[in-house]
């Protein structure tokens, strides 16, 4: 696969889009006969027309229904209840670069299913080709999250997605362009009609922004990863983990390493904001994190505790990708309290950041254990063709991310 070749194709589409021509050229819209899936994605039962999450964890309770605990502990409250068609429509939108200002970036560009729904980059790259400030988080299991973005500034997926959609450095479109573009594609109008038939009974019914947001959210909420080898162990199968992995699990939940105090099972996050003092990449200014949106100075340098499910798939690590490997990320925690805080910064470092003096062998075992949290058994199928007729772009862009200069030189 030649990225440049794909890229030049995209440029053509982009140009046509900008000129308003793409929509009038049926030859570009090959995927003319899409019927949205009437079945729920794996992990969901169709119940009264809506897809409802089913998981073995629903056998368990959790203290105060908070969804934090140990092995056989229920999950945090989740969101579901979309129709199969709405979820499937969201899948098309998610992969479709037509959502960006020039047709060059899709949601999947930074949330690539082949990269743990992240992008393999320390800092993501949008339409401008310049790295943005922070790393793209994985989308696995967002159904259980209460807050979104590293700095916890959004309270719903619908609110969250308006960040990248309209940020000039990411997808850079506008609400007006988004609905105009989608309404200009007959196939999308047909698909939205399939997803919201009651809203499209009148002649000339238009695609609404909130439907776009809802469909994308519906798809994101279907990304469930709860069948890792760790989960098999949690449900009672002692042989699911090797001895080194069990050692790693015991280090993980020990009160020396204290990983589980914030990355608490079963979701492997307690969904709090924590100030741990990880460094930004060389040359980048200090990122104040959640202190800004939460208007709370003591949370300076604070970020949302990320889930560690599928963490082995989403290197590099931390909010701006400073650590290339899981081993480096784990070793940060034994480097000493505040050891990487820039001079002049007085942070309220979290009390669990201390000096556990983990040995090299213990760090290795932690990495062993973290790799048991991988499960992609419910990974969605990518649409072979998109309603816009544009070729998917996420593979090309993500592959380029493997070398430092890419993502800049190829996207002028």
Query: Rule CB under 8 A: which residues touch other proteins?
Result: 39, 42-46, 54-64, 66, 68-74, 226-227, 232-233, 235-240, 246, 250-251, 253-257, 260, 264-265, 270-275, 294, 296, 298-299, 302, 337, 348-351, 353-354, 356-357, 377-378
Q: Considering beta carbons, is residue 149 or 192 the nearer one to other proteins?
A: 149
Minimum gap (Å) between residue 278 Cβ and other proteins: 15
| CA gap 73, 104 in Å, rounded | 43
Q: Considering beta carbons, is residue 166 or 354 the nearer one to other proteins?
A: 354
Minimum gap (Å) between residue 285 Cβ and other proteins: 21
Burial (CB count <10 Å: 0-12, 13-18, 19+), residue 381: exposed
| CA gap 219, 106 in Å, rounded | 14
Q: How many residues does the chain have?
A: 412
H/E element, 84: helix 84-95
Minimum gap (Å) between residue 174 Cβ and other proteins: 32
- Per DSSP, the residues of 138-156 read P-TTGGG-S-BSTT--BSS
| CA gap 325, 367 in Å, rounded | 9
Beta bridge partners of 302: 275, 289
Q: What are phi and psi of 141, to 5 degrees?
A: 65, 25
Minimum gap (Å) between residue 111 Cβ and other proteins: 20
Residue spans of alpha helices (H) in 147-185: 157-166, 175-183
Q: Considering beta carbons, is residue 88 or 96 the nearer one to other proteins?
A: 88
Q: Considering beta carbons, is residue 58 or 409 the nearer one to other proteins?
A: 58
Minimum gap (Å) between residue 94 Cβ and other proteins: 20
Q: Considering beta carbons, is residue 41 or 131 the nearer one to other proteins?
A: 41
Q: Considering beta carbons, is residue 29 or 62 the nearer one to other proteins?
A: 62
Minimum gap (Å) between residue 146 Cβ and other proteins: 10
374 close to 312: Cβ distance less than 8 angstroms: yes
């Amino acid at each position: 696969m030649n990225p440049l070749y794909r890229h030049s194709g995209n440029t053509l589409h982009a140009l046509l889009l900008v000129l308003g021509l793409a929509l009038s050229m049926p030859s570009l819209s090959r995927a003319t006969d899409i019927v949205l899936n009437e079945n729920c994605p794996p992990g969901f039962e169709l119940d009264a027309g809506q897809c409802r999450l089913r998981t073995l964890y629903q056998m368990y309770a959790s203290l105060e229904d908070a969804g934090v605990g140990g092995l056989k502990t229920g999950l945090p409250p989740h969101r579901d209840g979309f129709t199969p068609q709405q979820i499937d429509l969201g899948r098309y939108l998610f992969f479709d670069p037509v959502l960006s200002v020039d047709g060059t970036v899709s949601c999947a560009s930074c949330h690539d299913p082949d990269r743990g729904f992240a992008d393999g980059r320390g800092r993501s790259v949008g339409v401008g080709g310049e790295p943005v400030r922070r790393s793209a988080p994985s989308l696995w299991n967002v159904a259980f999250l209460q807050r979104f973005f590293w700095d916890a500034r959004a309270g719903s997926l619908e609110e969250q997605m308006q960040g990248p959609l309209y940020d000039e450095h990411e997808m850079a479109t506008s609400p007006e362009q988004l609905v105009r573009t989608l309404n200009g594609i007959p196939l999308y109008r047909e698909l939205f009609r399939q997803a919201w038939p009651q809203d499209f009974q009148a002649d000339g019914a238009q695609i609404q922004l909130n439907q776009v947001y809802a469909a994308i959210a519906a798809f994101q909420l279907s990304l469930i990863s709860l069948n890792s080898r760790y989960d098999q162990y949690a449900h009672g199968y002692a042989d699911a983990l090797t001895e080194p992995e069990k050692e790693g699990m015991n280090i993980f939940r020990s009160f020396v390493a204290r990983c589980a105090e914030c990355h608490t099972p079963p979701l492997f996050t307690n969904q709090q904001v924590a100030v741990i003092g990880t460094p930004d990449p060389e040359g980048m200014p200090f990122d104040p994190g959640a202190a800004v949106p939460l208007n709370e100075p003591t949370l300076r340098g604070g970020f949302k505790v990320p889930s560690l499910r599928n963490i082995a798939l989403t290197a590099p690590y931390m909010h701006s990708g400073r650590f290339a490997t899981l081993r480096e990320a784990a070793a940060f925690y034994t480097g000493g309290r505040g050891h990487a805080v820039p001079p002049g910064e007085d942070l309220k470092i979290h009390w669990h950041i201390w000096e556990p003096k983990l040995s090299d062998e213990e760090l290795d075992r932690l990495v062993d254990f973290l790799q048991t949290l991988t499960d992609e058994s419910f990974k969605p199928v990518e649409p072979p063709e998109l309603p816009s007729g544009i070729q998917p772009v996420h593979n090309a862009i993500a592959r380029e991310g493997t070398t430092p200069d890419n993502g800049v030189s190829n996207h002028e």
